[in-house]
Amino acid sequence: MRHDDLNHELLARYAPRPGRRPLLPELSERQKLALLCRVLSREGYNDHIAGHITLRLGDGSYLANPWELTWGELTASDILRLDERGGVIEGDWNITPAIGLHLDVHRLRHDVRVVIHNHPEWSSVWSATGRVPPVYDQTSALVDTDPVVYDEYRGTVEQRDLGQAAASALGQHKWALLANHGALVVGASIRQAHLRAITLEWRCRLAWRVQALGGGHALGPEVVQATGARTDQNGFPFLWEAMCREEIRRDPTVLD
């Protein structure tokens, strides 16, 4: 049985039974993006007002978080809609000058709907070393490939040529560590991008702690491949929904 078939089988087997409440209320795209910002902020994607997420819509426009607000405070009504050049066409805030990085990734990767860039603490530690963190546990193996390392830092990515270079370095990879900078994560859906983003930060954090104790035994590549191939395609079953429910309980205004 192929890994993607197995994952669909697991989702079907453990789907909520008739009569049970839905795992989440019906959400708009803006609400999903606001929730993604909130839950990732709690996972360490919280470098003040730095960082940005884009979600490509079917009409070729994009949703994005505004420049002025932290990921931990914004609500659905704060989410901007951008044209194909990154200009704001709906919303009351400004967009970061570094939006060109996202647009370049979207242009190069038609399979990608979601682009996440931030400076999470533990991913930034490993990006500063130019090294890929080993996989020491099964949670770190929920995505089945290593991040690519873009090992040159020549300035902030609002400089268009530097953003284009980072987007090109990502290539067809799922995620990247940008040297002396942070993380770049992409996905075909919010569920997939969420899993990749939290897995990268977990992997980086755990690997640092294991190596601080003198090292450990990394999982074999065949184990990582088998584990990640089951979960990366559609996300770990029910995880995205659980994180969203927690955020909604903490602050229901995130959906406003």
* Residue range 147-166, pLDDT digits in tens: 999 876 555 555 566 667 87
Dihedral sign (CA 104, 106, 107, 108): positive
Decide if pLDDT at 52 tops 80. Answer: yes
Among 149, 145, 148, 147, residue whose Cα is nearest residue 224: 145
Q: How far apart are CA 196 and CA 178, in angstroms?
A: 16
Judge whether 17 lies within some domain: no
Assigned domain for 16 exists: no
Q: What is the pLDDT of residue 3?
A: 47
Residue 23, pLDDT > 70, answer yes
- pLDDT at site 194: 98
Whether the per-residue pLDDT at 252 is higher than 90: the answer is yes
Checking if the pLDDT of 19 tops 80, the result is no
Give the C-alpha separation, 207 to 200, whole Å: 11
Sign of CA dihedral 81, 195, 113, 154: positive
**Number of residues that this document lists for the chain:** 256
* Residue 23, in any domain of the structure: no
For tokens 């090992």, name the residue: 151
pTM of the entire predicted model:
0.90
Give a yes or no: residue 9 inside a domain.
no
Structural domain contains residue 1 = no
pLDDT the model gives residue 1: 45
The domain that contains 79 carries what CATH number? 3.40.225.10
- Whether residue 183 lies inside any domain: the answer is yes
Q: What is the overall mean pLDDT for the chain?
A: 90
Domain hosting 244: range is 28-251
Residue 195, in any domain of the structure: yes
| pLDDT, tens digit, 9 for 90 and up, residues 227-248 | 999 999 888 999 999 999 999 9
Examine residue 10 and state whether it is found in any structural domain, yes or no.
Answer: no
pLDDT, mean of residues 67-90: 97
State the pLDDT at residue 153.
Answer: 54
Domain count, the chain: 1
Task: Summarize the confidence of residues 105-119 as an average pLDDT.
Answer: 96
147 burial (CB, 10 Å; 0-12 / 13-18 / 19+) is buried
